[in-house]
Structure formats: C-alpha cells, structure tokens
C-alpha cells in the first residue's frame, strides 16, 4: 500500500554507481533571497530570471506578500511588484522559519522609514547574531529597539521621522547578511554611506548589481569597502540571478566521491577558485570547457587534504560538510577546520553511522581516509541541516548498500531537484514517503 502524502519524505540511495553526463546549475539560492529582499527597495516592478524553485524561495515570497508585494510567474521570469507596500511588519511565522527574511529590515526602513521584523530562524548551525545589523542601521540614523518578549522583534525607524541618512560603519566581521542589509538601507538614505570590512561574496556583488540596475549608486562591491550614494527612489529592472556556486561545488564533489567524470554549465568559474584548487590538490582534473562550463574527472586514488573554511574568497563553509564526506574516501588523514559557524559539525555523527572514521575536537575534524579505517556503507541517517543533507547524499552514493536519508525537507530548502539531477547523471536514488517504524515491521 502506498504511504499517504502526509508522511515526510526520505531519499533512498543505492551506493556504488558511477556518474556521467551533464548537469545544469540553478540560480544561486543565497543571491536570489537577497535580491528578492532588495526588490522591496523599488517603487516599481522587477523581473527576475534564474530564481530557483526552492522551499526557502517560496518562504521569501510569503514574507514579501505579507507586506503587500504582488508576485507572479511569467514564463521563466518571476515578476515582483513592490509599488504598494501595505505594512512594515512581515508575517512573524514565516520570518522565523527563514533567516534570510530578516534582510528585509534594511529595505523596509530604507524605503518606508520604519520596519518591525521578528528575530530570524533557519538552519541550526550556530549563533548568527544580528548585532551588526542593528549597529549598522544605527550608524545610518535609525533608532533600533530589540524586544525579546514573545519570541522577539526588532523595531527600527528613522530617527528624523523621515528617512535614513548617510553614515560610516565598520563591521566587526564580514557578515554577508549584515552587508546586504546595510547596503539596501543605504541605497535610499539621504547622503553618502561608507561600509568597511564588508563581505566580498559573489552574492553580495549580485545584490549590488541588481540595486544599481534599479538606479542605485553603489561602488566597491566585491572589495572590503562599499560606498553607497543614496538616491530618492529606485525604478524597475530585468535581472538574471548568478549561478549557484555551492550547488556547483556539490556536484564537483559528487563526481570526486564517486570517482566519475561529469560536465556542468551555467557556472562562474572565478566563483569556484577555492573549491577547484582543493579538488585539484587531491588529484581531480578540472578544465574550463566554455566561459560558463566546467568538466571534472576524478581517478580512483585521491589524496588527503587540509581545509579551513573562510569568508569568500576562501573555502566556503557551505561546502565543508560535503568535503568532509569526500575526505573519508581519500588516502591518509585529512583535517577540516571550521571557522565560520561553531555548530557546523553536526553532520559528523550521521557520517559515522555510514562508517566514516572522524574525530571532532572543538572546530576541528580529523578524518581518516579509506586506508585508515573509513569504509562507507548504507544505513538510515538524518539530515540535520541543508548542507549536512547534501553531505549524506554524497556519502550514500559512495557507500556500499542502501542509505536512507530522513529530513529531505532540509535539502529541498537549498537544492533545486537535487535527486532528479543526480538521477540523470546515473545515480540510483528514489524519493519516497518515510513510514513510521511500527508500520515497516
């Protein structure tokens, strides 16, 4: 009997298959979320292409709709109409499920002079404080109150009762979220703002280019210093989201862990320099086949590696769990150091259930390769967050036997049809309803 649709979904993976073929990389989740928030800055319609169909994107749609934004799909485009904002307080229930939705505070207070935004949610991978957002908005002339009662809300309003003013602010840490929030706020402020020690990620550059295409005056995106000359209003635009470098990196590692050869397109090779360098270091061959195309080939014997996660242009924290999976199949002992999120080792316990030999000490993971005890095999595991889920998919494809992954909804938050794309490359995996254990006896 087929299971009712109300049951959560699992991925069942038969390990030991070799991948081949070509994969199309989707638009970048983290860029699309920021650009959708940035659409609130405009007094017009914007048309966005390459917006991935993801749980997190749909939640951001709900956040925007809760303040009066109209959203419709036209062919391959998403049309965002922000002309008639009806509220400065987005729906608390949705905001608490999606951390990126907190970014709308910058757009709302910049355009409307006021915003009331609940404290954010998202993946449980450690503390991601909002103090940089708060102090940055204060530097732009906002009065900000953080009320912690009833789950907590942040209330920001222009101190002069009208609009924000230009100012200077140096971030203690190059936070992507804080950089994007303050960029949106400063775009509509009265005067010039200078932001120091900002994030340099490609997604930050993409947001700046989107806002500039709407009439903003932002320079320095991609460097440590942003200059924003405020303008009275922003107009509509058509804009294409950049390809997802984390998805591309995940597929590069999928090829490596299965010792396969695949090609991919709709990538920006310069966004992947840190990842490509590490994969070449362990023995993979990666060549650029077109301005937006890569081909990866990985032989049977790959070498150990030391990796430290860092803000861009360093090795991305969002690929650390996937790299940890790959390291269990290499020769020797690898060391992974996580410096961005303090709780991003939760995938280790699940990888251990699949036969991985990994020892964790604070923010360091010591990973024994296949010649030192790691021998991946199928088992039931749980995806504890988005990137941990991707790491388990990779390990399941490389292991012997069948791996069943619960918590697939985490994977669906950030990968567009990951199982479908992998199946087209030859992976043996199926999505099915997870039956309660008492029904499977």
Cis peptide before 399 (omega within 30 of 0): no
Mean model confidence pLDDT for the chain: 93
Look up residue 18 and give its DSSP letter: P
Topology annotation, domain 29-240: UDP-n-acetylglucosamine1-carboxyvinyl-transferase; Chain (3.65.10)
Q: List the structure tokens of 311.
A: 């803000």
Rounded to an integer, the average pLDDT of 251-255 is 98
Q: Give whichever of 2-11, 114-123, 163-172 has the largest mean pLDDT.
A: 163-172
Rounded to an integer, the average pLDDT of 38-63 is 96
3-state secondary structure of 416: coil
3-state secondary structure of 283: coil
Look up residue 290 and give its DSSP letter: E
Q: How do strand 261-265 and strand 20-24 relate by DSSP bridges?
A: parallel
pLDDT of residue 341: 77
Look up residue 313 and give its DSSP letter: T
Q: Quickly list DSSP for 66-96.
A: TTT-EEEEETTEEEEE-S----SS--HHHHT
Q: Which residue has the higher pLDDT, 93 or 27?
A: 27
The string of pLDDT tens digits covering residues 127-151 is: 457 889 999 999 999 999 988 766 7
Environment class of residue 86 by beta-carbon count within 10 Å: exposed (0-12), middle (13-18) or buried (19+)? exposed
Rounded-to-integer distance, Cα 78 and Cα 80, Å: 6
- Please tell us whether the domain made up of 9-25+243-433 is placed in CATH 3.90.1150.10: no
Q: List the structure tokens of 196.
A: 């120091």
Rounded-to-integer distance, Cα 249 and Cα 268, Å: 11
Phi, psi at residue 105, to the nearest 5°? -60, -35
Edge-first strand listing for the sheet containing 333-337: 306-308, 333-337, 364-368, 357-361
Sign of CA dihedral 407, 385, 352, 367: positive
441 pLDDT exceeds 70? no
The string of pLDDT tens digits covering residues 382-439 is: 999 999 999 999 999 999 999 999 999 999 999 999 999 999 999 999 999 987 654 4
Residue position matching structure tokens 């912690």: 148
Rounded-to-integer distance, Cα 109 and Cα 111, Å: 6
Least confident of 11-20, 192-201, 338-347, 416-425: 338-347
The string of pLDDT tens digits covering residues 174-228 is: 999 999 999 999 999 999 999 999 999 999 999 999 999 999 999 999 999 999 9
Query: Is there a common fold for 9-25+243-433 and 29-240?
Result: yes
Percent with pLDDT over 70 in the chain = 95
Q: Output 273-280 pairs: Cβ under 8 A, ≥24 positions apart.
A: 273/313, 274/313, 274/314, 274/315, 274/316, 275/245, 275/249, 275/315, 275/316, 275/319, 276/252, 278/305, 278/307, 278/315, 278/323, 279/252, 279/253
Judge whether 404 and 440 are in contact, CB under 8 Å. Answer: no
Q: List the structure tokens of 300.
A: 């049977």
126 pLDDT exceeds 50? no
pLDDT of residue 124: 44
Active site positions, annotated: 123
Axis crossing angle, helix 245-257 with helix 320-327, rounded to the nearest 10: 10
Rounded-to-integer distance, Cα 206 and Cα 28, Å: 10
Rounded-to-integer distance, Cα 441 and Cα 146, Å: 50
Percent with pLDDT over 90 in the chain = 85
The string of pLDDT tens digits covering residues 280-317 is: 999 999 999 999 999 999 999 999 999 999 999 999 99
Least confident of 82-91, 144-153, 326-335, 353-362: 144-153
Phi, psi at residue 425, to the nearest 5°? -90, -5
Residue among 15, 13, 142, 140 nearest 432 (CA): 13
Phi, psi at residue 184, to the nearest 5°? -65, -45
Rounded-to-integer distance, Cα 49 and Cα 76, Å: 6
Residue among 183, 96, 67 nearest 133 (CA): 183
Write down the domain spans for the chain: 9-25+243-433, 29-240
3-state secondary structure of 339: coil
Residue among 232, 197, 191, 196 nearest 214 (CA): 232
pLDDT of residue 127: 47
Residue among 102, 68, 95 nearest 83 (CA): 68
Does the pTM of the predicted model rise above 0.85? yes
């Amino acid at each position: 009997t087929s299971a009712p649709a109300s049951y959560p979904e699992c991925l069942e993976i038969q390990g030991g298959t070799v991948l081949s073929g070509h994969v199309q990389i989707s638009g970048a989740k983290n860029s699309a979320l920021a650009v959708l928030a940035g659409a609130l800055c405009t007094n017009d319609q914007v048309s966005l292409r390459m917006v991935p169909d993801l749980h997190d994107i749909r939640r951001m749609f709900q956040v925007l709709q809760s303040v009066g934004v109209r959203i419709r799909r036209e062919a391959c485009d998403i049309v965002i109409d922000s002309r008639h904002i009806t509220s400065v307080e987005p729906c608390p229930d949705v905001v608490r499920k999606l951390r990126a939705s907190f970014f709308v505070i910058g757009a709302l207070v910049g355009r409307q002079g006021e915003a009331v935004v609940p404290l954010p949610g998202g993946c449980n991978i450690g503390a991601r404080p909002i103090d940089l957002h708060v102090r940055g908005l204060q530097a732009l002339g906002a009065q900000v109150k953080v009320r912690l009662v009833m789950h907590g809300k942040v209330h920001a309003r222009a101190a002069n009762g009208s609009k924000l003013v230009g100012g200077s602010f140096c971030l203690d840490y190059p936070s992507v979220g804080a950089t994007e929030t303050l960029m949106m706020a400063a775009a509509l402020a009265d005067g010039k703002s200078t932001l120091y020690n900002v994030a340099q990620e490609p997604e930050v550059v993409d947001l700046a280019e989107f806002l500039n295409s709407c009439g903003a005056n932002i320079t320095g995106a991609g460097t440590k210093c942003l200059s924003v000359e405020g303008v009275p209003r922003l107009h509509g635009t058509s804009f294409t989201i950049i390809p997802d470098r984390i998805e591309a990196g995940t597929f590069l590692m999928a090829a490596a862990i299965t010792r396969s050869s695949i090609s991919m397109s709709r990538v920006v090779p310069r966004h992947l320099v840190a990842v490509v360098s590490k994969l070449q270091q362990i023995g993979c061959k990666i060549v650029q086949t077109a301005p937006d195309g890569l081909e990866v080939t990985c032989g049977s014997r790959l070498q150990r590696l030391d990796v430290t996660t860092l803000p861009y242009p360093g090795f991305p924290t969002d690929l650390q769990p996937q790299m940890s999976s790959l390291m269990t199949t290499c020769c020797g002992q690898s060391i992974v150091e996580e410096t961005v999120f303090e709780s991003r080792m939760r995938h280790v316990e699940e990888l251990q259930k699949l036969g991985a030999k990994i020892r964790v000490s604070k923010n360091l993971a010591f990973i024994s390769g296949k010649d030192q005890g790691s021998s991946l095999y199928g088992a039931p595991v749980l995806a504890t967050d988005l990137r941990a889920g991707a790491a388990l998919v990779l390990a399941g494809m490389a292991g012997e036997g069948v791996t069943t992954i619960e918590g697939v909804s985490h994977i669906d938050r950030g990968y567009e049809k990951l199982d479908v794309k992998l199946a087209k490359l030859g992976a043996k995996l199926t999505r099915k309803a997870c039956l309660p254990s008492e029904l499977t006896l």
